[in-house]
Structure 1
Amino acid sequence: MRLVYLYLIALVIFFVIDFIWLGYVARNFYAERMGAIMRDSPKLGVAALFYAVYVIGVIYFAVWPAYNGGGWTEAALNGALFGFFAYLTYDATSYSVLEGFDPVVAVVDTVWGTIITGFTAAATIWVAGLIWGTASS
């Protein structure tokens, strides 16, 4: 059952931070650089599917191993690596095949994915420590 709670914690952390980033902090950045290829509004079902599935990856590759002995630094490192590879895959592929996909967006988005995923994994371990006292099953 803790695995489900870890997932929900990570999902909330990731979603809230990404919502702030995409909705407020970097909204104009993306709109100015990708305006011609951006939708007026996102497909919320597809976005929800991304968040649900991506966070499973964060749990599997970063949170769960760290929860079982590695601590928040392992979570941060593995989360950052997972984020880097996942976001780079998307951004490099998009830049290579989509006309109008801005290379600066590709770099910034890859850096963002690295940071948010590493932070989410580490923060999830930190919150788990607050709730259960120790990061072990």
Structure 2
Amino acid sequence: MSTKHLVAWAVTFVVLLVIDMIWLGVVAKGMYQEAMGDLMSPNPRLGFAAVFYLAYPVGLLVFAIVPGLDQQGVLRAALLGGLFGLFCYATYDLTNLAVVRNWPLALSFIDIAWGAVVSGVAAGAGAAALRWFASR
């Protein structure tokens, strides 16, 4: 991975982490707790969360940021990031709807939409950072 890609990954990581922590820890915290009830762990396993937050920006870089900049620019990268998020979060939520007893349907729709939004914003930020760094 080149330095410019590392910078793009880092910006994507920070934006994703900060926005998602605001969403999960403040804005939608009560909604998730109410909808999931006993399914939600009282003590999240932070190691697994760390693996997700470190790896997911790599997916955004490979499937959204670089292809988006190669094609049409930051907006295209953000759109591809949103689609990546839609499909990734839909995979998670639809699988849970299929196999987890009492998985909340409404929460799945909200979570899928959130995945698209946060992924699009993070990919757009990563693409802007990559474009800026590459132009220096």
**What's the TM-score, normalizing by structure 2?**
0.91
Cα displacement (A) at 1:125: 2.1
| C-alpha separation in 2, matches of 1:12 and 1:76 | 16
Alignment of 1:81-92 (within 5 A): 81-92=83-94
Match of 1:47 in 2: 49
Bigger relative CO (Cα 8 Å, ≥ 6 apart):
2
The letter for the 1-side match of 2:91 is T
Alignment of 1:53-68 (within 5 A): 53-68=55-70
1:7 to 3, 6, 9: 9
Q: Secondary structure at the match of 1:100?
A: coil
| C-alpha separation in 1, matches of 2:62 and 2:118 | 16
Alignment of 1:1-137 (within 5 A): 1-129=3-131, 131-132=132-133, 134=135
The letter for the 2-side match of 1:47 is A
Shifted more, 24-33 versus 64-73: the winner is 64-73
What 5-or-longer segments of structure 2 have no aligned partner? none
Q: Which runs of 4+ in 1 moved over 6 A?
A: none
Alpha-carbon deviations, 1:46-100, whole Å to 9, x = none?
0001111111100101111223352111111100110000000000000110012
Q: Secondary structure at the match of 1:42?
A: coil
Cα displacement (A) at 1:127: 3.6
The alignment yields a C-alpha RMSD, in angstroms, of 1.6
What 5-or-longer segments of structure 1 have no aligned partner? none
Question: Aligned pair in 2 of structure 1 residues 116, 37: CA closer, same or farther (>3 Å)?
Answer: same
| C-alpha separation in 1, matches of 2:59 and 2:128 | 18
Cα displacement (A) at 1:133: 7.1
| C-alpha separation in 2, matches of 1:43 and 1:75 | 31
